[in-house]
Every structure is written in C-alpha cells, then in structure tokens.
Amino acid sequence: MRPDNPDLVTVVGIGAGGWPDLSRTGQSTVAAADVLMGSARQLDLVPASVAAERLPWPTPLLPALAGLLDAHRGRRICVLASGDPMFHGIGATLVRLLGADRVRVEPHPSSASLAACRMGWPLADTEVVSLVTAPVDAVRRLINPGRRFLVLSRDTATPALVAGVLVGAGYDAARLTVLAQLGGPDERITRGRAAEWSHPAGDPLNVIAVECGDGPATAVVPGLPDSAYESDGQLTKREVRAVTLAALAPTPGALLWDVGGGSGSIGIEWMRAHPSCRAVTVEASPARCATIRANAALLGVPGLSVVEGRAPGALTGLATPDAVFIGGGLTADGVLDACLAALRPGGRLVANAVTVESEAVVAAAYAKLGGDLTRLTVSRGSPVGGFTGWRTMMPVTIWAVTT
C-alpha cells in the first residue's frame, strides 16, 4: 500500500515473532518496498522472497540518517522498527526529521505493551524508562516504596546494572522480572531479587519489570533534604530551593539555564519535576562540575547538561532557555543582561541575592523591569544547651520577572 506521495517513508513495526506476526497491511507494505532499512536482526526476519534491497543501519545511525534517506529518495522506502515505532523508536525520529506528512507508520505491539500484559499491569499506570540511549542512573527517578515500572534494556548487561542501582538505593529486596524475546517463539522469563541477582547475561532483546517493594522514600516535589546533595557548602538550602523552584514554575519540556550551579540542586529538581524537563547548569569550578554530575546521577537525572565556564561567556551557543536561574555571579559584568536577552518571549528569570552588592543589582533591575520581589528569612530549630533555639540563616532576596 502506497499513497500518492512519492517521498513517503513507511515504517513497519516488527516483533520477535517476525514475519508471521505482521498484519496483512504490514506484510504488503514490506513486500512492496524497493528499499528495506533496519537493523541486521530486523532485516533477517523478512523472508528471502521479498525482493527489496536491504540496507542495515550504519553506526552511528543518527548522523547518517538524513543522507541515507536522501540517497534513495523517489524509491519506495520501508523502515523496519522494533514493536511500536512511535514508542521510543525510529518512527518518532523520522517524524522529527522529515515531518509527519512524509512518514506513515504501521505499528506492532510495543515491548512495553507485551511486558505489561505478561505482568498483569495496567499500562496506563505503569511508568516506562528507556535505557537504550540513557545511562542506567535514569531509573533512580522512578525508585520509591511500592512503585513498579518497566525498563527497556540496552543489552544483556542491563538487568544486572539495574539490580545494582536498586541495591545502591536501599532496595535490596526489589523484585526483577526479565522478559526476553517477547512475542517470539523463544520468549522466556527470568525472576529474582535485586541483592541476589546472579543470573548470567541473557538475550539482548529484553524488558525489565521492577517491583520496588519497601525502601527509603524520595520526595517528588521541590525541596529535597540538603543531605540528598554532596556539597562544598555552595548549595541553595532546602526552604529557599522550594520557593525558588516555585518561582521558576517548571513546565513539561521546558529548558532551564542554572547559572552558577554550585551543587546543581536547582537544575536537578527542575528536571525531576517532569521527565521531559531539561536543564543546563553553568559552573566555573571544575570540582563543582564533577559534584553536579554526581548529584544528578544519584537523583535520577543524568541527562543534566553541565557546562564548565564563567558566565556570560559560557552562555554563548546554548539553546534558548524558557527559564533562567541566577544563583551565582549576579554581580559579574554582563551576566544579568545576557540572561535576560537570551530568554524567549514570555520566559521567566529568577535571581537570588544574599549580599548587599547582589541585592543592589536586583533592586536596580526590579526598579527598571518590575516583577516580584521577595525576601526570605529561614530559621531552623537547633539545640541550645539542654533547650531548643532558633538558628537563623542569611536572608535571601528573590527576584522573579517574566519577559
């Protein structure tokens, strides 16, 4: 089947069951192709009677993809994908590259759908994290008491890596179910506890179902305990952090610049607000950059981008932000102006000042641009001999403005 568009690329999802499990439409689409593109494993699932030219994906794929498609433009191109091509698959990549009008997708049940069916879990209530391209630390964001989730594995080593992360997070008794070759004739299931995981590496085509059970809880709202972060003292304290994140108002998919990252807490908790939130942290100290990366990994957002350098120079070339937080360097020449100029229309800037000099910068900006000005003083109870008294932290002035 081929609509009139001569530049159309069709994408057919194929599972471990191969050709016999394809729908009639999927089979006819593949059979009518001039060129078949996919992994070597996927191409081998198509019978020899299909006469199309077969092109295995190059490595790395993404840099070569546009040129590969252009080289065969005008021919009937069919791309093979695992399961549902629009679920962490090549279909979504092709739509971003070519536009939805040039891509038609024939899906197969995704591995997540099949795994949820095998486990008896409602897919709508089950979170899924893909480790095909992400580091294993990405699962940390999902770990909490009583939670269960699915992990799309990168290879045979992934189950053992996930077990190690669970043990490191205090979830020794978490249950892992590894479902391999789902939907195929060689489908098999392996179960075990995280702390006792000693199964040999199995099939690379696997999904991991994780049941956390009991363990230490990590809040999902801004304002994690200060103890959650490694720090040399440059840390936005918990109460101030919660108010700052509320002023920044993270929304799904939005990009934050965290200028003067310190321990990375603002960028980290921005990204924890939603899986699609993105952040870039700019920090001049190499040691603090290393600390930020470690904190981001331990708190489940290893995708936090860390730029080593001083603002405003280090801001050059960064993607346009939806929000900017200035937690350090506010008095440096050009920092505030550069951040305001970089924001998209309707973007939000929040700056925290703790010194007289930085307060003067904030006061001048407030007088010129308006916005909201808040002074926050936090006192924490602490021992005074055999009694309890208040220990007051330095006051923080928070300026928030929308461009």
233 and 359 fall within a common domain:
yes
How far apart are alpha carbons 242 and 222 in whole angstroms? 5
* pLDDT digits 0-9 by tens, 96-116: 999 999 999 999 999 999 999
For residue 4, being part of any structural domain is answered with no
pLDDT tier, 1 (very low <50, low <70, confident <90, very high otherwise)? very low
Q: Are 16 and 68 contained in the same domain?
A: yes
CATH number at residue 306: 3.40.50.150
Q: Of the candidates 108, 124, 146, which is a domain's last residue?
A: 108
Q: What is the DSSP string of 234-282?
A: ----HHHHHHHHHHH---TT-EEEEES-TTSHHHHHHHHT-TT-EEEEE
In a shared domain, residues 232 and 381: yes
276 φ/ψ sector (left φ>0, alpha ψ -120 to 50, else beta): alpha
DSSP code of residue 144: -
Res 6: pLDDT: 74
Domain that residue 92 falls in: 9-108
Would you state the pLDDT for residue 328?
87
Three-state DSSP string of 194-216: HHHCCCCCCCCCEEEEEECCCCC
Q: What is the mean pLDDT of residues 392-398?
A: 96
Query: Residues 100, 144: one domain?
Result: no
- Among candidate residues 73, 108, 143, the one where a domain is terminated: 108
Residue 219 is assigned to a structural domain of this protein: no
The residue among 187, 211, 235 that closes a domain is: 211
Residue 266, in any domain of the structure: yes
Query: Residue 256 domain-assigned?
Result: yes
> CB-based burial of residue 138 (10 Å sphere; 0-12 exposed, 13-18 middle, 19+ buried)?
buried
Residue 333 sits in the same domain as residue 259? yes
Res 25 pLDDT > 50:
yes
Decide if 197 is inside a domain: yes
Instruction: Tell me: do 97 and 142 sit in the same domain.
Output: no
Query: Is residue 395 located within the same domain as residue 246?
Result: yes
The answer to whether position 217 is within a domain reads no
Same-domain pairing of 179 and 40: no
Q: What is the CATH number of the domain that holds 116?
A: 3.30.950.10
Does the N-terminal peptide bond of residue 216 adopt cis geometry, omega within 30 degrees of 0?
no
Three-state DSSP at 178 gives strand
Q: Say yes or no: 237 and 293 in one domain.
A: yes
What confidence tens digit (pLDDT) does each residue in 230-241 have? Answer: 999 999 999 999
pLDDT in tens, 40-74: 999 999 999 999 999 999 999 999 999 999 999 99
pLDDT per residue as tens digits for the range 325-351: 999 899 999 999 999 999 999 999 999
Please provide the size of the chain in residues.
403
Based on the structure, what is the number of domains in the chain? 3
